[in-house]
């Protein structure tokens, strides 16, 4: 039944008039637009599907999530549809733009504390909702916090969000290494135990620093170094000396979020009760303090783009050589399975721009090299910028990078940081050939379910959901196989499927399991539009770093771990590796395989119950309905009956198995049919 007050947004491009560009990101360009029949200004995110061949899964997930969420602090999608080879996502127009844009335009040194408290309280409310519904955002940062003309704050960008689910007594943690390096929690980088909602709390802490200083800690460094620093250094924080303008409660709140051990971080719900948020004000306050006097969003955006382009040109020459060299050296060292510490140290020492640390980390309060095990006494331990500068100047290149501590740091990690980082470079030139034949795979975020609406909201919106189903789900791109890189998630071992097409009856059998340690990496190392697969452009982004990492734990279980344990030349254990280093990795592999086996058995059972035996070839809809019936009251689908969430969950499950041949052409046809 349709909700009486629900607006129906048209699903045809000719009903919209595109105005100026107001934003762009890794995957899309966002326009201000007019919805002609409703005479309403909206924002439209336009994604060129032809060129998005390396992240269709992210797009699908994003649109799904946006169409299901129902919270005042989360940016929803009104509707979405394809137009030519583009996907259009129609959303409310957030005239203030993102907090990042606002800071860049008018507050380069960051916001005042009450503004930060107000913004973060709203973001936290959104996180409480997402977490309560089993969702991890995974990309909380100022660039994804949008403000509308009334000062309402909404968290946006669900392109990399993920869903946790609890099936019986087993709670699944995410195992995908995804996010934007500066904001990424250490456990997300580490990969061993997966991660959970607490990863968002870390990102929120980093976002707090970003809003306080105008930029995130380590933001000027290339991703590789950001990862190393996050893993090795004490957590960043607000410095008592430099950040005198901020209250003790703000410093405490940040420190509470930025604890390396996720278990020691508060839940979003608990954090919301922190006394820092008592300083939060109204939306009006935001309008008067940060929005008043700003130029229209489109104009600001245009100016920023011009500035960014100029900066890039200026810095290109400066960064290009150094950056390319350091990255190449890392790639060489890592993808050659070289885990000889001395070797890696000397390669790492090629990164030399640590000398300006006093201008960067210390401005962030994150340049301290001292360790801080927990939040207590956070700033007493911190070095002043002067101290850091002096000690760095006196140090050897290795000291400057903290490389003397590498060994110690490694020992304290269940997976060594460089091992974790290895996956990032699977796309390196050397590996392309090897990966070629198996470089296609499919996503395994497929156990993720969208259980986003509370049952009450579901009831209230039952009509709306049904009504929207045809419109919105019709726009959900069926999961397609990236043409170039492999996507994978935690449900299935990504690298266990043959890349051969599923075309006939024989192929309907489950894909051949074939443990191969091929390319699983996906996602840009650097800021890089999704249409660009050219890794050569990476260095250009050293200055403007907005790209995301996405590597799955499968790298680390089937390849990463093995690679570092066994010497490629001898096939035996590497002489440098101790039993205590090997054991956790082996246990992890075992655990992963057990989980995957369980999933396979469960899904085989489901499939056996269906009478439709042609679903792999004849379209997903048949499979969805067959499987929806079969899974009515089972496993992870329990509790989402009758909702389109369930369909989506089932669809995700199927796609995990069946979509080896989901070419873009197919799913676009499927979208047109209005599945």
* Span from 21-29, 356-364, 366-374, 508-516 in contact with ligand ATP (CB under 6 A): 21-29
Cβ closest to ligand ATP, residue 97 vs residue 493 = 97
- Other C-beta atoms within 10 Å of 266: how many? 16
Rounded to the nearest whole angstrom, what is the least distance from the CB of residue 426 to ligand ATP in the complex? 21
Choose which of 30, 46, 257, 565 interacts with ligand ATP (CB under 6 A): 30
Q: Is 45 annotated as a binding residue?
A: yes
- For 153, phi then psi, to 5°, come to -110, 130
Cβ closest to ligand ATP, residue 90 vs residue 627 = 90
Q: How far apart are the first and last CA of the chain?
A: 19
- The set of residues, in sequence order, having a beta carbon less than 8 Å from that of 269 and lying 6+ positions away, is 128, 131, 132
88 binds ligand ATP (CB under 6 A): no
In 3D space, the residue among 102, 79, 94, 103 whose CA is nearest the CA of residue 15 turns out to be 79
* Span from 65-73, 90-98, 214-222, 368-376 in contact with ligand ATP (CB under 6 A): 90-98
Tokens 């201008």 -> residue: 359
Rounded to the nearest whole angstrom, what is the least distance from the CB of residue 107 to ligand ATP in the complex? 15
225 binds ligand ATP (CB under 6 A): no
- The set of residues, in sequence order, having a beta carbon less than 8 Å from that of 625 and lying 6+ positions away, is none
Choose which of 27, 449, 574, 660 interacts with ligand ATP (CB under 6 A): 27
76 binds ligand ATP (CB under 6 A): no
93 binds ligand ATP (CB under 6 A): yes
Q: Rounded CA gap, 74 and 126, in Å? A: 6
Rule CB under 6 A: which of 131-190 touch ligand ATP?
Answer: 143-144, 146, 156-157, 159
Rounded to the nearest whole angstrom, what is the least distance from the CB of residue 492 to ligand ATP in the complex? 25
45 binds ligand ATP (CB under 6 A): yes
Cβ closest to ligand ATP, residue 146 vs residue 640 = 146
77 binds ligand ATP (CB under 6 A): no
Concerning whether 139 is annotated as a catalytic residue, the answer is yes
Beta bridge partner(s), residue 163: 135
Alpha-carbon dihedral angle through residues 128, 258, 59, 1, given to the nearest 10 degrees:
0
Q: Rounded CA gap, 76 and 633, in Å? A: 29
28 binds ligand ATP (CB under 6 A): yes
Rounded to the nearest whole angstrom, what is the least distance from the CB of residue 236 to ligand ATP in the complex? 21
Tokens 């335009």 -> residue: 105
Rounded to the nearest whole angstrom, what is the least distance from the CB of residue 143 to ligand ATP in the complex? 5
Tokens of 282: 């109204």
Structural contact between residues 457 and 609, judged by C-beta atoms closer than 8 angstroms: no
Rounded to the nearest whole angstrom, what is the least distance from the CB of residue 94 to ligand ATP in the complex? 4
- The set of residues, in sequence order, having a beta carbon less than 8 Å from that of 53 and lying 6+ positions away, is 482, 483, 484, 530, 664
Structural contact between residues 649 and 540, judged by C-beta atoms closer than 8 angstroms: no
Q: Rounded CA gap, 285 and 115, in Å? A: 8
Choose which of 90, 94, 360, 452 interacts with ligand ATP (CB under 6 A): 94
23 binds ligand ATP (CB under 6 A): yes
| Residues 480-512: b if buried by 16+ CB within 10 A, e if exposed | bbbeebbbbbbbbbbbbbbbeebeeeebbeebe
Q: Classify 31 as helix, strand or coil.
A: strand
Cβ closest to ligand ATP, residue 77 vs residue 360 = 77
43 binds ligand ATP (CB under 6 A): yes
* Span from 97-105, 358-366, 512-520, 587-595 in contact with ligand ATP (CB under 6 A): 97-105
98 binds ligand ATP (CB under 6 A): yes
339 binds ligand ATP (CB under 6 A): no
* Span from 78-86, 87-95, 236-244, 363-371 in contact with ligand ATP (CB under 6 A): 87-95
Tokens of 525: 């190392």
CA 235 to chain centre: 20
Choose which of 26, 46, 543, 650 interacts with ligand ATP (CB under 6 A): 26
How much is the CA Rg of the chain, to the nearest whole Å? 24
Rounded to the nearest whole angstrom, what is the least distance from the CB of residue 99 to ligand ATP in the complex? 9
Q: Rounded CA gap, 578 and 574, in Å? A: 9
In 3D space, the residue among 427, 369, 423 whose CA is nearest the CA of residue 398 turns out to be 369
24 binds ligand ATP (CB under 6 A): yes
Residues binding ligand ATP: number (CB under 6 A): 25
61 binds ligand ATP (CB under 6 A): no
Cβ closest to ligand ATP, residue 385 vs residue 547 = 547
Choose which of 74, 91, 199, 627 interacts with ligand ATP (CB under 6 A): 91
Rounded to the nearest whole angstrom, what is the least distance from the CB of residue 146 to ligand ATP in the complex? 6
The distance between the two most distant Cα atoms of the chain, rounded to a whole number of Å, is 73
Structural contact between residues 522 and 58, judged by C-beta atoms closer than 8 angstroms: no
97 binds ligand ATP (CB under 6 A): yes
Structural contact between residues 181 and 227, judged by C-beta atoms closer than 8 angstroms: yes
Rounded to the nearest whole angstrom, what is the least distance from the CB of residue 21 to ligand ATP in the complex? 9
Cβ closest to ligand ATP, residue 440 vs residue 527 = 527
Choose which of 60, 61, 71, 101 interacts with ligand ATP (CB under 6 A): 101
Cβ closest to ligand ATP, residue 511 vs residue 547 = 547
Q: Rounded CA gap, 374 and 372, in Å? A: 6
CA 468 to chain centre: 27
Structural contact between residues 538 and 409, judged by C-beta atoms closer than 8 angstroms: no
* Span from 89-97, 220-228, 277-285, 319-327 in contact with ligand ATP (CB under 6 A): 89-97
Rounded to the nearest whole angstrom, what is the least distance from the CB of residue 156 to ligand ATP in the complex? 5
Which region, left, alpha or beta, applies to residue 293 given φ > 0 means left and ψ of -120 to 50 means alpha? left
Cβ closest to ligand ATP, residue 441 vs residue 523 = 523
Strands 79-83 and 40-48: unpaired
Q: Classify 26 as helix, strand or coil.
A: coil
* Span from 16-24, 229-237, 531-539, 652-660 in contact with ligand ATP (CB under 6 A): 16-24
| Helices and strands (H, E) in the chain, number of each type | 27, 14
Rounded to the nearest whole angstrom, what is the least distance from the CB of residue 519 to ligand ATP in the complex? 22
Cβ closest to ligand ATP, residue 61 vs residue 131 = 61
Name the active-site residue from 55, 70, 139, 494. Answer: 139
Q: H-helix or E-strand containing 249?
A: helix 248-257
55 binds ligand ATP (CB under 6 A): no
- Other C-beta atoms within 10 Å of 602: how many? 16
* Span from 26-34, 183-191, 503-511, 561-569 in contact with ligand ATP (CB under 6 A): 26-34
Task: Output the known binding site for ATP.
Answer: 45
Task: Output the known binding site.
Answer: 45
Which residues have a catalytic role annotated? Answer: 139
Give the residues lining the site for ligand ATP (CB under 6 A): 22-28, 30, 43, 45, 75, 91-94, 97-98, 101, 143-144, 146, 156-157, 159, 546
């Amino acid at each position: 039944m349709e909700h009486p007050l629900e607006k129906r947004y048209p699903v045809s491009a000719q009903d919209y008039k595109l105005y100026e560009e107001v934003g762009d990101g890794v995957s899309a360009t966002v326009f201000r637009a007019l919805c002609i029949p409703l005479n309403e200004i909206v924002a439209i995110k336009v994604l060129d599907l032809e060129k998005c061949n390396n992240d269709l899964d992210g797009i699908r997930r994003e649109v799904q999530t946006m169409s299901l969420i129902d919270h005042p602090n989360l940016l929803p999608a009104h509707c979405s549809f394809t137009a030519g080879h583009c996907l259009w996502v129609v959303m409310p127009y957030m005239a203030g733009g993102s907090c990042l844009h606002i800071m860049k335009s008018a507050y380069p040194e960051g916001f005042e504390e009450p503004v930060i408290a107000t913004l973060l309280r709203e973001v936290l409310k959104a996180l409480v909702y997402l977490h309560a519904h089993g969702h991890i955002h995974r990309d909380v940062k100022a660039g994804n916090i949008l403000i509308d003309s009334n000062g309402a704050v909404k968290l946006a960008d669900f392109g990399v969000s993920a869903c946790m689910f609890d099936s019986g007594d087993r709670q699944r943690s995410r195992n995908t290494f995804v996010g934007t390096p500066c904001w990424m929690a250490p456990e997300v980088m580490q990969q061993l135990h997966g991660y959970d909602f607490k990863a968002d709390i870390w990102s929120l802490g980093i976002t707090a620093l970003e809003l306080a200083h105008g930029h995130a800690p380590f933001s000027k460094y290339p991703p590789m170094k950001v990862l190393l620093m996050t893993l090795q250094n004490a957590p960043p924080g607000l410095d008592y000396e430099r950040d005198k303008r901020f209250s003790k409660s703000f410093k405490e709140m940040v420190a509470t979020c930025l604890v390396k051990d996720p278990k020691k971080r508060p839940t979003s719900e608990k954090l919301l009760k922190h006394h820092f948020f008592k300083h939060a004000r109204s939306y009006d306050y935001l309008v008067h303090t940060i929005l008043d006097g700003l130029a229209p969003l489109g104009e600001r955006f245009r100016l920023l783009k011009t500035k960014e382009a100029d900066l890039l040109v200026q810095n290109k020459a400066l960064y290009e050589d150094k950056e390319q060299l350091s990255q190449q050296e890392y790639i060489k060292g890592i993808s050659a399975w070289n885990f000889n510490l001395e070797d890696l140290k000397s390669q790492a020492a090629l990164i030399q721009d640590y000398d300006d640390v006093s201008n960067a980390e210390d401005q962030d309060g994150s340049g301290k090299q001292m360790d801080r095990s927990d939040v207590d006494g956070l700033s007493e331990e911190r070095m002043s910028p002067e101290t850091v500068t002096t000690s760095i100047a006196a140090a050897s290149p290795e000291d400057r990078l903290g490389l003397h501590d590498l060994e110690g740091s490694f020992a304290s990690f269940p997976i060594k940081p460089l091992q974790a980082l290895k996956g990032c470079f699977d796309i390196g030139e050397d590996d392309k050939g090897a990966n070629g034949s198996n470089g296609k795979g499919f996503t395994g975020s497929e156990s993720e379910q969208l259980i986003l609406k509370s049952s009450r909201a579901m009831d209230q919106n039952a009509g709306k959901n049904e009504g929207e189903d045809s419109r919105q789900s019709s726009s959900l791109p069926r999961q397609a196989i990236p043409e170039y890189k492999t996507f994978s998630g935690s449900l299935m071992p990504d690298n266990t499927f043959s890349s051969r097409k599923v075309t006939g009856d024989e192929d309907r059998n489950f894909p051949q399991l074939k443990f191969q340690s091929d390319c699983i990496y996906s996602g840009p190392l650097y800021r890089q539009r999704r249409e660009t697969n050219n890794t050569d452009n990476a260095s250009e982004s050293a200055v403007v770093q907005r790209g995301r990492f996405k590597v799955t734990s499968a790298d680390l279980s089937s390849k990463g771990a093995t690679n570092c344990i066994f010497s490629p030349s001898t096939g035996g254990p590497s002489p440098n590796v101790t039993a205590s280093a090997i054991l956790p990795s082996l246990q992890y592999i075992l655990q992963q395989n057990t989980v995957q086996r369980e999933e396979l058995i469960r899904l085989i059972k489901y499939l056996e119950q269906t009478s439709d035996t042609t679903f792999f070839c004849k379209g997903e809809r048949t499979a969805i309905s067959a499987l929806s019936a079969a899974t009515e009251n089972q496993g992870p689908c329990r509790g989402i009956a009758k909702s389109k969430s369930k369909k989506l969950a089932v669809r995700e499950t199927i796609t995990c198995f069946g979509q080896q041949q989901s070419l873009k052409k197919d799913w676009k046809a499927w979208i047109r049919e209005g599945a």
